[in-house]
Chains A and B, each alone.
Chain A
Amino acid sequence: MHDSSTTAVQGNVQSEVHGAAHNPALLHHFATEEQQRDSASFGMWIFLSTEVMFFGGLFCAYLIYRLKYFGEFAAASQTLNWQLGMTNTAVLICSSLTVVLAVWAAQHSKRALLLGSLVLTLILGFAFLGIKAVEYAEKFEKHHVPGPSFQFDHVKIPTAPGQPEQFANPSHAQIYFALYFIMTGLHALHMIIGIGIFVWLLFIAWKGRLTPEYNTPMEIGGLYWHFVDIVWIYLFPLLYLIDLRK
């Protein structure tokens, strides 16, 4: 219990704390920089677990409808351009490398490497979105966008040799494309947010605010970017590759 004789004016205590702090980035309610860094990165991990559940609902819906409309999902999946998807996968894996380099550079005061890696990450991010836009445009041309103009008539369901040929039910195939657009669209939205974060990181790195002592924004920004990459690593085989050989 406090004794009233030791009552200190709060403002004095605060100014002492701030006066003693080594780093102006240390916020008032943390005792040490280590505590602040741990909290920030732990918070990002918790947020990412939320994101896993967010995408998890969609993955669950995808798997259920894939079991239910196996043929239509195979037929629809085969219309995707896997070469573009593969390229995009490569682009994202490279961007994960540049993010790791940026984090390392921030921790070791390598300014040129830091700025270069951030710029490269941004270029790769934009490249991904560009390729995705090309794919989306293709869907528009083929009338594979769900909605009133959707067409998927007289598309054969891939069957084993000797089996009678079947045609896909367009409204079932439409579910595939709806999920395709929602999942990749949500992923692309995360990419856009990631690009926003990295533009900001580039800005504070340019200003020299990322130092070996304080680089938490780079670290948690990197965590976010890797997470978005990993989502794609699951989306790519599930949407593009899974029915390729049928």
Chain B
Amino acid sequence: MSMATATAQPVERENYLNKHYGVGSWLLTTDHKRIALLYLISITFFFFIGGFFALLIRLELLTPAGDLVQADTYNKLFTMHGMVMIFFFLIPSIPAVLGNFLVPIMIGAKDLAFPRINLLSWYLYIIGGVMMLHCMLTGGVDTGWTFYTPFSTAFTNTKIVEAGLAIFVAGFSSILTGLNFIVTIHRMRAPGMTWSRLPLFIWAHYATSIIQILGTPVVAITIVLVAVERTLHLGIFDPKLGGDPLLFQHLFWFYSHPAVYIMILPSMGIVSEIIACFSRKRIFGYSFVAISSISIAVFGFLVWAHHMFVAGISVYAALVFSLLSYAVAVPSAVKVFNWTATLYKGSIRYDAPMLYAFGFLGLFTIGGLTGLFLASLGINVHVTDTYFVVAHFHYIMVGGALMGYLGGMHFWWPKISGKLYPEGWARLAALIVFIGFNLTFFPQFILGYVGMPRRYYQYPPEFQVLNVLSTAGATVLGIGYLLPMVYFLWSMRYGKPAPDNPWNAAGLEWQTQSPPTTFNFEEEPIVTWEAYNYEELDAPHNEEVPVAR
């Protein structure tokens, strides 16, 4: 391939980054790739805000006494950490950045179906984000990110309504992204790009989008009800006035459990891409991996009450929800086994994206299996509201979703920026993240199991050793997250120019130039091959030579 080998390019080719300059060309862009970068900057900003809160939480827990912050402040810290990380980082992270950038290119389209709605979704996110920032700066919220009633509507004197509205607005940004993806995947595929040839990244985003459009409106209306109840002192959820606080929890978790799959499914899509590429094999059991994404989305809607086992729901309901929660493990395990089978007899390369994918495999498996502990009624009663739960969902949301996100950022960074990142540093960062993560959260499993409850700023002295370990790990983890930001920024200026296909990977996104032009392809691609045709790519007669790195 001639473009890839032309390493010394005297003149930069026209691409989506250098076609127009100026603030206006970014703030009014309808190019899905530029909007992806707008999202990238915004979510990174919120990631570091959320991380800052996490840092303060961990510092407070360094000692058993409540000596760094007061109890009220601590309540606000973990609440704002949760709200920022979930609604303003994790949910938009992969879909709005990598999904936005890659979904049209991977299916051979020039853009998403509704480019202006795509831009609108970013502005809604920003409006929600500014409201959230204002809410934080003027006092914040102390209910926990779950807004449980009646505490949120009748007791707390913090800024529930403003935080709720911020999440309401950001929710519509998420809905519009999902809507755009579904229509794009249905209607904009290039000739020959059949459903069975779609990359698994696309299947994962399709499943994610279903959750976004069907789940988000429910939490939106629930937040409206909370805001109305709080403002007008009605009794919709307040038991004193005849309301039913359990109804709130049902409505809230109807979205907020599937929301976990909004975070993890796109990550699974990324891992499928990376593992196939760095094992040089077609993914094992393509159709099973594809369908398992959809079934995770469907089952995900049927398990919400496992968050409420001790809240007073009927034993029979709890039994059904426990069983259904076990059922979600089946499609998740299908994925893990298929990824492992893909590795078998593959020509594995340990580049940074692959290290993140390996990290994902291990951490997601631990997170998923401890999820089964929590789905079983007996153990659930024992560990409810302890650090066991905290560790479990961080293994999924940070160990799973965030590892996938970072893996994807490394994998596609040459395509996004047109520059190569420094591979040695990237491998080091992947290692630091993995070690830091386990050091932070594994002690929390033990802490929870021996009985340390979550959301307290003090604890008995016998828990201190494990808490110190966790705080130390969080510091390491923080460095691991700062590193990629530093070298990504560095590479934009000093990095070597990236060839069009640095990994010699399959997939349409690698066949266009790096970075792509505004409309992605010079001519509409026609797809005549299956996804992950690595055997063909690597066949000896193929003149395609992997680029030496």
Please report A residues at the B interface, Cβ cutoff 8 Å.
1-10, 13-14, 27-31, 35, 38-39, 42-43, 46-47, 49-51, 53-58, 60-61, 64-65, 68-69, 146-148, 169, 171-172, 174-175, 178-179, 182
B513 — nearest CB in chain A belongs to which residue?
A2
A182 to B3: give the CA distance in the assembly, Å.
Answer: 60
- 4 new A-B contacts at CB < 8 Å, known A10-B14, A46-B213, A174-B234: A2-B512, A8-B523, A10-B19, A54-B218
* Closest beta carbon of chain A to B136's beta carbon, Å: 27
* Closest beta carbon of chain B to A168's beta carbon, Å: 11
CB neighbours of B67 from chain A (8 A): none
Q: Contacts A2-B3, A3-B2, A39-B188 hold; do A175 and B235 have CB atoms under 8 A apart? A: yes
Q: Which 6 A-B pairs have the closest CB atoms?
A: A54-B217, A29-B111, A29-B110, A57-B221, A53-B217, A39-B187
Instruction: Report yes or no: A1 in contact with B1, Cβ–Cβ below 8 A.
Output: yes
A10 — nearest CB in chain B belongs to which residue?
B517
Q: Contacts A147-B233, A171-B235 hold; do A10 and B519 have CB atoms under 8 A apart? A: yes
* Closest beta carbon of chain A to B543's beta carbon, Å: 10
A147 to B241: give the CA distance in the assembly, Å.
Answer: 12
Picked from A54, A69, A147, the residue with its CB within 8 Å of the CB of B242 is A69
A149 to B225: give the CA distance in the assembly, Å.
Answer: 20
B215 — nearest CB in chain A belongs to which residue?
A53
* Closest beta carbon of chain B to A52's beta carbon, Å: 8
Q: Contacts A43-B113, A53-B214, A60-B251 hold; do A147 and B234 have CB atoms under 8 A apart? A: yes
Instruction: Report yes or no: A28 in contact with B519, Cβ–Cβ below 8 A.
Output: yes
CB neighbours of B243 from chain A (8 A): 175
Number of chain B residues close to chain A: CB under 8 A: 56
CB neighbours of B233 from chain A (8 A): 147-148
B224 on the interface (CB 8 Å rule)? Answer: yes
A57 to B225: give the CA distance in the assembly, Å.
Answer: 10
B243-256 contact mask (Cβ, 8 Å, vs A): 1 or 0:
11001000100100
A6 — nearest CB in chain B belongs to which residue?
B522
Instruction: Report yes or no: A57 in contact with B110, Cβ–Cβ below 8 A.
Output: no
Max chain B C-beta neighbours (<10 A), residue from A1, A31, A49, A146: A1
* Residues 114-147 of B at the A interface (beta carbon under 8 Å): 114-115, 117
Q: Contacts A10-B518, A169-B242 hold; do A57 and B218 have CB atoms under 8 A apart? A: yes
8 A-B pairs with CB atoms under 8 Å apart are A9-B14, A13-B519, A28-B110, A42-B187, A53-B213, A61-B251, A175-B242, A178-B232
Instruction: Report yes or no: B522 in contact with A8, Cβ–Cβ below 8 A.
Output: yes
A28 to B104: give the CA distance in the assembly, Å.
Answer: 14
CB neighbours of A39 from chain B (8 A): 113-114, 183-184, 187-188
A55 — nearest CB in chain B belongs to which residue?
B221
A35 to B191: give the CA distance in the assembly, Å.
Answer: 13
* Closest beta carbon of chain B to A171's beta carbon, Å: 5
A46 to B182: give the CA distance in the assembly, Å.
Answer: 8
B308 on the interface (CB 8 Å rule)? Answer: no
Q: Contacts A6-B522, A14-B519, A29-B115 hold; do A54 and B220 have CB atoms under 8 A apart? A: yes
Instruction: Report yes or no: A174 in contact with B241, Cβ–Cβ below 8 A.
Output: yes
* Closest beta carbon of chain A to B85's beta carbon, Å: 24
CB neighbours of B184 from chain A (8 A): 39
CB neighbours of B3 from chain A (8 A): 2, 4
B222 on the interface (CB 8 Å rule)? Answer: yes
B180 — nearest CB in chain A belongs to which residue?
A43
B179 on the interface (CB 8 Å rule)? Answer: yes
Instruction: Report yes or no: B511 in contact with A2, Cβ–Cβ below 8 A.
Output: yes
B186 on the interface (CB 8 Å rule)? Answer: yes
A178 to B112: give the CA distance in the assembly, Å.
Answer: 40
A49 to B210: give the CA distance in the assembly, Å.
Answer: 10
Instruction: Report yes or no: B183 in contact with A43, Cβ–Cβ below 8 A.
Output: yes
Instruction: Report yes or no: B2 in contact with A4, Cβ–Cβ below 8 A.
Output: yes
Instruction: Report yes or no: A50 in contact with B183, Cβ–Cβ below 8 A.
Output: no
B275 on the interface (CB 8 Å rule)? Answer: no
* Closest beta carbon of chain A to B257's beta carbon, Å: 15
CB neighbours of B235 from chain A (8 A): 171, 174-175, 178
CB neighbours of A1 from chain B (8 A): 1, 511
B474 on the interface (CB 8 Å rule)? Answer: no
CB neighbours of A4 from chain B (8 A): 2-3, 6
A1 to B221: give the CA distance in the assembly, Å.
Answer: 48
Instruction: Report yes or no: B234 in contact with A146, Cβ–Cβ below 8 A.
Output: yes
CB neighbours of B234 from chain A (8 A): 146-147, 174-175, 178
Max chain A C-beta neighbours (<10 A), residue from B115, B117, B183, B235: B183
Picked from B114, B228, B232, B242, the residue with its CB within 8 Å of the CB of A171 is B242
CB neighbours of A2 from chain B (8 A): 3, 511-513, 522-523
* Closest beta carbon of chain A to B470's beta carbon, Å: 38
B109 on the interface (CB 8 Å rule)? Answer: yes
B183 — nearest CB in chain A belongs to which residue?
A43
A90 to B216: give the CA distance in the assembly, Å.
Answer: 33
Instruction: Report yes or no: A56 in contact with B218, Cβ–Cβ below 8 A.
Output: yes
B91 on the interface (CB 8 Å rule)? Answer: no
A175 to B233: give the CA distance in the assembly, Å.
Answer: 11
CB neighbours of A38 from chain B (8 A): 187
A54 — nearest CB in chain B belongs to which residue?
B217
A146 to B234: give the CA distance in the assembly, Å.
Answer: 7
Picked from A31, A47, A64, the residue with its CB within 8 Å of the CB of B524 is A31
Picked from B114, B214, B522, the residue with its CB within 8 Å of the CB of A13 is B522
A6 to B218: give the CA distance in the assembly, Å.
Answer: 50
Max chain A C-beta neighbours (<10 A), residue from B112, B218, B234: B234
B236 on the interface (CB 8 Å rule)? Answer: yes
A71 to B244: give the CA distance in the assembly, Å.
Answer: 17
Instruction: Report yes or no: A46 in contact with B183, Cβ–Cβ below 8 A.
Output: yes
CB neighbours of B14 from chain A (8 A): 9-10
Instruction: Report yes or no: B217 in contact with A50, Cβ–Cβ below 8 A.
Output: yes
Instruction: Report yes or no: B242 in contact with A29, Cβ–Cβ below 8 A.
Output: no
A179 to B6: give the CA distance in the assembly, Å.
Answer: 66
A35 to B114: give the CA distance in the assembly, Å.
Answer: 12
B505-546 contact mask (Cβ, 8 Å, vs A): 1 or 0:
000000111000111001110000000000000000000000
B94 on the interface (CB 8 Å rule)? Answer: no
Instruction: Report yes or no: A42 in contact with B183, Cβ–Cβ below 8 A.
Output: yes
CB neighbours of B215 from chain A (8 A): 53
